[in-house]
Chains A and B, each alone.
Chain A
C-alpha cells in the first residue's frame, strides 16, 4: 500500500498557555514554543505505519508550513515514515483551509499515486476539520471523517466513524482519504533507533515553482476567506473577588448565591 500522511506543525499543546498576545500590536506571540506534530496527525502517522507493517508498501509524510515545520517532519521520519516532504514558500503563507488543501493536493500529485491518504480530523490550533475533506475534493477521492477504526478488506476499507450519539460503519472504495479521531489507535513514542535512523534522512523541501503552481492559487491570494478585525470581548459582569479563608469565602459565596436565587 502506498500511503500518504498529512502532518501539520502546531505549537506544543503542553505549552499552549505560554502563548501570549502583544497588547500593543494585537499579534499572537508564540516564540520559543516548539512546533510538534498536530496530536491527531500522530494518530494518522500511527495508522499509516501499522498498515505498512501489516500490508507492506511505503509511507510518505507531507506538510505545508514555514521552514520550522521541518522539525515535526523529522519527528515523523524518526517514527518510521519513509519520506518526508515540506511544502514551504512565502507565497503559501496566510492560507485559509481551501488554499491549504489546494497546495497539499498539488504536493500529493507531485509525489505520485497513493492508495490511502490519512490525516488528523482537525488541528489543535485551527480546529476547523475542513482541510481533509477539501483536499479529497481537489484530488477527486472519496473520504470519511472522524474515523475511529479502519480495516482493509478485498480492496475496500471497512471504516467506523463518529456521529452524534454513536458510530457509523462505512465501506469506502480505495483510493481514499480518511480523517482520523484519537480513538483510532495509541500513537507509538519515539525510539532511540528511530531517531538515529532519521539522522540519515532529509526532509525534502518544495516551493510553488517546484509544484508548478501559480502563486495566485496559494496563500492569502488563493484564499476565499479573509480575517477582518479582531476585537476583545466586553463583559458586563462585576468580577467581584471574595476574599478570606476557605470557610469565610464559602460563607459569603453561599449567601450571595442564595440571595440571587440560583441555589
Chain B
C-alpha cells in the first residue's frame, strides 16, 4: 500500500486570498523532509483568484505549487475542499501530507484521512524521517514524547499547530513551477454550506510575538489569584499565557493557552507560575531564552526545564515581585 507514493505535500490554507503563516512554516519543514527523502515538495493551494499569488510559495521552498482556483473554493467548506484534496491525493499519490492545525485544517485533515482510510496524527511538535524513509511524527505523551508511524498506508498525514516551526526566509531566486489543476465540482454536493463568516481582528500583540510571557496554571486556584498574574504581566509589559486548566476554569481565554494544542512562544523571558510542567505545556516554551518557575512543590517537573526556580506559594512571592518591578520601572 505504500508503493508508488512519492513526494511531500503541504496544504497552504488561505484566508481572503492571503496565505496563513502556518502553511509557509510547513513549507520550510517540508523542504527539509523532501531533501532528506530526495523527493519533490509541493504546495497545495485551493481558493479563488489565488493563481497569481501562488508563485510566491516557491520562494518558501516549494518545487511545485498545485493550484485549484475556482469561485466555489473562495472559503473553506468541508465537502468541496475534501473532495478536491482527496481526488488530487488519489491521482498524484504523495507520500507525506502536512496540514496546519487551524480549525479548518483540523476539519479537513480527518475528513480526507477518513475517506482515504490512512493514518493521521494531530498537533505534532516534531517531524523526522527514519532510516526507512518513514515520517516520524512526534507528539507529547505522558511525561515524555511519543513517536507515531504510519507504516503501511499512504499518505502519511500530520497536522501541526501554527508557530511550531519557524517561518523560512523567502528566497526569490528559487525556481519551481505553478501547475493549475482542474477539478470538477459541479456534481459534488455541498452538504454543510457556509452562509457567513464573522471575523474579529485579534486584540493587542499576539502572545507568540511577546518578548516577555507570564503564564499561570491550575495552581493559581481562583480568579482573584489570576488577577495577580495579570498584574505581574502588566508591570513587565508581558503577555499573559496559560496552561489548559485556567481555560477550563474560565480564567483565561483559549488563545492564551501555551503548548501542544495551543501556542508556541519564543520570549526572552517566560515566568511560569502554579504550573506543574506537563510535557504538553512545556513543548510550547522550549525556545524561550530564560525560563523562571514558581511552584510550591519542589518535585514539580517544571523545575527541570527552568533556568531559575522558586519553591514557594506564589501568593507570597508574586506581590513582592510586582512591587519590585514597579519600583524598577519608576526609577529606571
Contacts and interface: CB of A to CB of B under 8 A. Distances in A.
Interface of A: 13, 17, 19, 21, 28, 39, 96-98, 101, 127-138, 142-146, 158-159, 161-173, 176, 223-233, 235, 237-243, 246-247, 249-250, 253-254, 256-257, 260-263
Given A129-B106, A170-B194, A172-B191, A136 B114 contact: yes
B187 interface: no
Contacts of A136: 111, 114
8 contacts: A96-B119, A137-B114, A145-B103, A171-B195, A172-B192, A172-B193, A228-B148, A246-B317
Secondary structure of the B contact surface, majority rule: mixed
Contact of B310 (A132, A158, A242, A261): A242
Nearest to B237: A263
Given A162-B103, A163-B104, A168-B197, A98 B317 contact: no
Contacts of B308: 240-242, 253, 256-257
B74 to A, nearest CB: 13
B324 A250 contact: yes
Contacts of B201: 165
Of the listed residues B118, B260, B305, the one surrounded by the most CB atoms of chain A closer than 10 A to its CB is B305
Contacts, number: 222
B55 interface: no
A60 B120 CA distance: 29
B119 A225 contact: yes
Contacts of B107: 133, 145-146
A129 B120 CA distance: 11
Nearest to A157: B192
Given A166-B200, A170-B195, A176-B192, A227 B106 contact: no
Given A98-B114, A130-B113, A260-B290, A142 B307 contact: no
A224 B141 CA distance: 19
A257 B151 CA distance: 47
Secondary structure of the A contact surface, majority rule: mixed
Contacts of A253: 292, 308, 310, 321
B37 interface: no
Interface string B98-141: 00001110110111011101111111000000000000100001
Nearest to B193: A171
B212 interface: yes
Given A97-B120, A246-B320, A263-B236, A137 B111 contact: yes
B114 A262 contact: no
Contacts of A230: 141, 144-147
Nearest to A228: B147
B317 A250 contact: yes
A133 B150 contact: no
A224 B149 CA distance: 8
Nearest to A223: B119
Contacts of B251: none
Interface string B261-295: 10000001100000010010010000001111000
B328 to A, nearest CB: 7
B78 interface: yes
A241 B304 CA distance: 10
A18 to B, nearest CB: 12
Contacts of B268: 261-262
B307 A238 contact: yes
Contacts of B136: 228
Contact of A134 (B103, B114, B196, B289): B114
Of the listed residues A129, A172, A229, the one surrounded by the most CB atoms of chain B closer than 10 A to its CB is A129
Given A128-B122, A241-B309, A262-B269, A225 B148 contact: yes
Contacts of B141: 230
B320 A250 contact: yes
Given A21-B144, A127-B122, 9 more contacts: A21-B143, A130-B109, A142-B78, A144-B192, A161-B103, A170-B193, A226-B148, A233-B305, A237-B304
